[in-house]
Structure 1
Amino acid sequence: MATAASAGDDLKKELTCAICLEIFQDPVILKCGHNFCRFCICMHWDENGGDYGYQCPQCRTVFNKRTFTKNYLVQNLVDKLDNLECLGPCPAPPKPVKVDGNCEQHGEELRLYCRTDKRPICVVCRESRAHRHHEVARLPDLVNDMKMELKKRLTELNWEKSQCVQIRTADERTKNEVRLKKQRLKETIEADVGALVQFLLDERDSLLESLDAEEVDAIAVIEDNLKMVETETAAADKSIAEIQNHISGKTSFEVCVYLMKSVVTTGSPVMVSL
């Protein structure tokens, strides 16, 4: 039992909210890793947050938005703490007593409530030794206190609901903005890439046209050169034949002079280079 109680005390320290100093109620975790009650951190940010962001009460990390996530692990530990506390000695539950009725012991109307024993009592019970030093309240006052507490809780629940609505609205707006931004970027990328592709296609067509024109010009030069080579080749063959006919036999001076004048060397043809 002592070990369980000690373990429970250590666990309580780890599961205590730094704002309200009570065991976590609906624990949430911030991005910095610290945990708080959902209601406590929301109230803290309502009072201290603003245009300069929302600060973690423990490490002072500043966030641009009110963002947190429910910490199911801590919630499970809180539930286990409740079970652990039940391992210690638990007082016997009070005997059920009807609030609207009379005291079974004294027969008086039950107009009071013993906070110590957590049960309705009559005026005679209050003066008895069993309740003389206990904290006692009038039942109507207790009902009013309970109503005030319920109203407070109702206010908290309405506030929490309004925060959820605001967060949901902001998240939906952010989601739509992300989709719109993506669509705009997609259109920009498609337009830019399309323009680049068209530019490259135009450049390709221009280069191919230039290549075709260069081919035509080069072939025309080559064809002219081939014709010239053929003409010079034919003239050279004719001169070679005439010279060979005369130098193989007896040739007069006059014929040699004639051949020297009629056979003219044109020179080597020029090779066309690209």
Structure 2
Amino acid sequence: MASSSSDIGVNLDALTCSVCLQIYKEPVALPCGHSFCRVCIETYWESKEEDTGCVCPNCREVFPQKTKLKKNVTVAHLVDNIVNVKKGGTGGTWGTESHCEVCNGEAAKRCVPCEILCCEKHLKPHQQKGHKLVDPGVKIEELRCTEHGKPIQLYCKDDESLMCLMCTGGEHQDHKVVAVEIAHSELKGVLAAKYPHVSQSMERVASQLQQVQKEKEQTENSSRDAEDRLEEKGKLVCKLVNESVDLMKREINKRKMEKLSLLGKQREKLEQQLEDLRQGKSTMDTAFQKMEAVSFLQGSKDVLKMLETMSDFTSVKRTPLPVLDFSKEEKNLDGLITLNKKFLEKIQKGPVEHPEKVELDQNNLRRLYGRSPSLDQNSAHRRIKISGDLRTATRTGTENQHPEHPDRFDFYEQVVSRDCFSSGRHYWEVDVRSSRLWGIGICLNSMGRKGWESGLGENPESWCLRKHNNKFSAHHNDRRTSLSIPGDHERFGFFLDCEAGELTCFGDSRVLHVFRGNFTDPVKPAIWVWGDGGSVHFVHLVK
């Protein structure tokens, strides 16, 4: 009769060979009743050099002579059932990746030596025997060496590869090999050391992402507001233009009607004169053709009188009315059209030249991108005094009574600006004529302000141009680059292109050095002043 799931659960421990600690393979029974794998018991007896005969590994019963090993049919049948369950055979839905292969309950772990999924209840025997247990989703083949098929137990540090015991005799023979548990512990330690840095980086990136999102929303809102304002202004401009055109048309029409009225009156008068002349001519024609001498003489007075009237017509001179001139009005409209054309051309060209067309000339940079940073008093070291206009930092011999602030430098005589840049292009200049020892550059707004790691150029979050002992150098991440700068310059320029990731340093109208980094993170201009009495000044640039 086939074994039920409960039967298998009860007999699971009895199905494990006490020699190899795995489910029986070809089980055989000894006369004492204990069963073992055939290969396991034979190997066990061969390894013993006792003259007392064959001994049972479990109860230590001695058999005077080697007993004939017979197959334990019952145990073999149960083992076959277990195998069928694991293969998804007669066990129905058993053997899935989420169910115990003994009772079909929720699987908690997989036993690697026995290659079986177990729930919490049926896991205990495997735990007691010290079997290796892994999560249910782990495949057994993933825990075996791909070359030898043996369990993975070692880790090669030289090759960073997993291996079994048989691999040690090959190409890993002279390599540094440790147990996987040791490698696991060491790697966890390395990751644990890096974890805080990753967490801090995540926080910084998340904060920057929030800033980007905020700027995006501000940009969309400001753009939408600007478009609405332009729409209203456009409507107003169209309204004013239409009203101007309508006013001009009304004025033109008024002047046209006045002139047409005058022309109409002149026409009526001329038409009446023409009619009178036509009648006089007709009378004269009749007199010439039909009247006899007596009749002609009798009516001559009337004819002559009429002719006198006609002579008055010929003396009349008509003064033509002036031609209507609308050129002034048209010029006004032409001026408005020209103004709009220039306005459109300016918009199409943009407020400034495209950066790729702008040469790195300090005059151009000063005109297009000039900035006048002001110093942040809350960041100034106690030996740094800030001027009233917030543009000059002076190194003092004694400490100033600056209040406590988390942004204040406590180790180096440094100060940063209140201005913070994360996009666009910016140019500023620094006057150093009153200092022989200084450091000037930028730092991330997130750079620490406390301790020896806060020096400009001494960490990955700052970039600094320095003058020390009349020698110039560029510093970043505690790395120094010597610079050959002839002369003693009084002013240095700095051009920050956030999108290009470049900080270009100028001296005497020439490029001295170019720093490269991720300048889309918020950065601030910064100053470091050595030597009592020395001062460095942010120049006020007027575009």
**More helix as a share of residues:** 1
TM-score (norm 1): 0.43
Please state which structure has a larger fraction of its residues in strand: 2
